[in-house]
Structure 1
Amino acid sequence: MAWLALSVVVIWAGMLAFRDGFWLADQRDDTVPVDLARWPSVVAVVPARDEAAVVGRAVASLVAQDYPGEFRVILVDDNSDDGTAFVARIAADGDPRLTVLTGGPLPHGWTGKLWALSQGIEQAGSPDYLWLTDADIAHAPDTLRTLAGMAAPRQLALVSLMARLQCRTFAEKLLVPAFVLFFQMLFPFRAVNRPGRVAAAAGGCMFVDAAALARAGGIGAVRGAIIDDCALGELLKRQGPIRLALTRRSLSLRDYGRIGEIGAMISRSAYAQLRYSPLLLAGTLVGLTLVFLLPPLLTLAGQIGGVIAWLLMALSFQPMLRFYGQSPLWGIALPLIAAIYGWYTLVSALQVWRGRGGQWKGRSQALLQP
């Protein structure tokens, strides 16, 4: 048993030392926006389906952007039946920069969000940049300045900011900071932000070089992707450098009052991340057990190596907990949190096997084929 405890310590020490500092949460948008000689033209495209509860704040934050360049907003109403378009128009208060577009029927082989984005991009014309942002994200007034100031001087094909998620309820405190930590374990931001094969993005806020997207084949090149943001990040990194960062400027408006609601978000795409592979699913569950669940079990068995591995695990969580303003004691709960994520990953596979995978807004979108 001692050798097993030593193995887990080595795994955690290796990840902390050699996994591109995924746990440091140091890739941020904290730089002051620069003054550009020419501010590029930008069109924000917002896909929205049954988002009346939040779209007003999102649209109001867009039309309130302090941006010196040409800027318009296109909201694509994806067959909502809750008055989403009406709420969006009211929130804009007559601002002529907002266009509300009624989306067409969903074609075979497309996910709903990407089809809505495609229609908005077609309507946008020929701006320098496209700001692809969700209907449940509110942005600080300087967000667009920041995005343009990061992208234009460096000729980045994509700048993506990971919106700060709500972290008020027990369920959110338990699962939300870990969601971002686990994302960074899969896609270390430092690796994303340097040349190489690692690519990712955060779908709530993606600032895209329109010419680079056109060269890559347009949004249709990823039309069936469930994890559309990472698919777009991979597509655009082939066209030029990209950047992914944490932010406090963009805030998710979606509340999760229960663990099951966050679980539904996890299960929607977890098995897709594993490429619908039973082998990768089994490997993931075994890996979660070895890396996260074994340390507390070894601790209970009196193995000092289990204690050390558990402490290293808790240490890895601290920067993200500070970013979200949460108690450092949540670090001790990371094995339990990982077990919950493992369960919902299994649920994700079960949903796909039952033909109900990729559920979002009444649509089952897993395993789509063009």
Structure 2
Amino acid sequence: MITLIYIALGYLLITSLILLSNGRSLKKLESVPPGYFERQAPEVCICIPARNEAKSIERCIQSALKQNYPNLKVHVLDDESTDGTTAILDRFQEQFPQKLTVIEGQPLPEGWLGKPWACHQLAEAAGGDILLFIDADTWLDRSAVSKAVRQMGQDVLDFMTVWPLQKLGTFWEKNVIPLIYMGIFTILPVRYVHRPPKWIPPFLRATLAPFFAAACGQFMAFKRKSYDAIGGHKSVKNQVVEDVALARNIKRAGLTMNMYHGDDVIRCRMYHLHQELWQGLRKNFLAGFHHRLSPFILTGFLQFTTYILPVLALPYLLFSNSLFLLVLSGIAILLMLVQRIYLSQWFSWNALYALLHPLGVAWFQVLGIRVLLDHFTGKAVFWKGREL
């Protein structure tokens, strides 16, 4: 028991330091001075893949069309939708024929997954100096594109990604979605996304650079020439977590990237029902580990040891003579709560749900078991009517 508590404390201390560092390193997009784009404004094409997005696509397209950026086109791909998405897109196409292009998606070729194929078709059809991919469940403040383009120029980037404010509605959304952000911002030092760590020997930096890459597919902007240089979405055609794969390809090519905090300009509501949440994360969970079982299982054990075991052990330790273990468990629980509260305040979520953090971790433990059963039994996972 004491060894496990030590492991939990060590992990919490390290991840707390990373989280605090990231709180300083993850910048918001800077404001754009008046008249900044009067002399030069590279053409931006917003690319939006849409498959059965009737409940969210209207808000997404409206926000894209209302951008205050002066040189903008919007392309939406209707990926064989079977709900009301097509009718909504037709209506927008009639209203904004000069600014909006709706593309009818082609059947999915063998060897491709749905989203990479949709984004590939969008990139093929779009012009522009900058390709901006956003999801259909994402919506933008009027200044989002202007701020993003200026930031890419200021920081001399080939690729940028922005983490939106996740709008959370249901009980399980409020418990589970913040853990995705927590898993990223307690593990990945943001400062190394842009520039490699100085403590890594120069001859190893190119090899290790992809380990310091992450991305959020809800907002990704590429310089067109950089997107083409890495092979675009064709290079990740069979990747479930294609956004992270693209970021790693950027790093492998020696190109520059960075990530930003976008809670004031970008918002997203990924899921509305528990079943959507379960299926959406079920398809991504093992893929996020490149389908490698060892790190997947080890991470699950580490999460259980860190965030659940101290809570389970607390009632027993209260009535035992192990005062030292009781204190260590109490410190572990306190650090866990501090992490979750800090993240909640950072991303404007309800901090009271920090008290239910072990419940959210337990939800992921159950999901992990389900994913392992899928893997060992060969059970297919479906998303929006397609097998992955």
Could you tell me which residue of structure 1 aligns to residue 234 of structure 2? 220
Select the residue among 320, 332, 337 that pairs with 2:343: 320
Q: What is the Cα-based RMSD across aligned positions, in Å?
A: 2.2
Paired residues of 1:157 and 1:239 also in contact (CA < 8 A) = no
Q: Give the drift of 1:254.
A: 4.1
SS of 1:230's partner is helix
Could you tell me which residue of structure 1 aligns to residue 171 of structure 2? 170
Superposed CA offset, 1:298-338 (max 9, x none):
32324110000110111111222113434433223222211
Could you tell me which residue of structure 2 aligns to residue 29 of structure 1? 28
Select the residue among 249, 256, 262 that pairs with 2:277: 262
Could you tell me which residue of structure 2 aligns to residue 8 of structure 1? 8
Paired residues of 1:157 and 1:241 also in contact (CA < 8 A) = yes
CA distance in 1, matches of 2:97, 2:25: 37
CA distance in 2, matches of 1:267, 1:176: 13
Select the residue among 104, 110, 113 that pairs with 1:111: 113
Could you tell me which residue of structure 1 aligns to residue 41 of structure 2? 39
Tell me which amino acid in the other structure corresponds to 1:114: P
Q: Give the drift of 1:97.
A: 1.1
CA distance in 1, matches of 2:185, 2:380: 24
Distance 1:349 1:215, change over 3 A: same
Q: Give the drift of 1:345.
A: 2.2
Identity of paired residues, percent?
24
CA distance in 1, matches of 2:186, 2:23: 11
SS of 1:46's partner is strand
Could you tell me which residue of structure 2 aligns to residue 368 of structure 1? none
Superposed CA offset, 1:268-315 (max 9, x none):
111112222332332122112222122213323241100001101111
CA distance in 2, matches of 1:15, 1:331: 16
Distance 1:6 1:136, change over 3 A: closer
Q: Give the drift of 1:30.
A: 4.4
Could you tell me which residue of structure 2 aligns to residue 299 of structure 1? 314
Paired residues of 1:295 and 1:309 also in contact (CA < 8 A) = yes
Paired residues of 1:212 and 1:239 also in contact (CA < 8 A) = no
CA distance in 2, matches of 1:352, 1:102: 34
CA distance in 2, matches of 1:346, 1:109: 27
Could you tell me which residue of structure 2 aligns to residue 275 of structure 1? 290
How many residue pairs end up in the alignment? 361
Paired residues of 1:130 and 1:207 also in contact (CA < 8 A) = yes
Paired residues of 1:33 and 1:150 also in contact (CA < 8 A) = no
CA distance in 1, matches of 2:189, 2:213: 9
SS of 1:100's partner is strand
What 5-or-longer segments of structure 1 have no aligned partner? Answer: 366-370
Paired residues of 2:12 and 2:332 also in contact (CA < 8 A) = yes
Paired residues of 2:29 and 2:148 also in contact (CA < 8 A) = no
TM-score (norm 2): 0.86
Paired residues of 2:29 and 2:260 also in contact (CA < 8 A) = no
Q: Give the drift of 1:103.
A: 1.0
SS of 2:285's partner is helix
CA distance in 2, matches of 1:299, 1:13: 19
CA distance in 2, matches of 1:264, 1:95: 36
CA distance in 2, matches of 1:26, 1:334: 25
What 5-or-longer segments of structure 2 have no aligned partner? Answer: 197-208, 319-325
Distance 1:279 1:201, change over 3 A: same
CA distance in 1, matches of 2:182, 2:257: 20
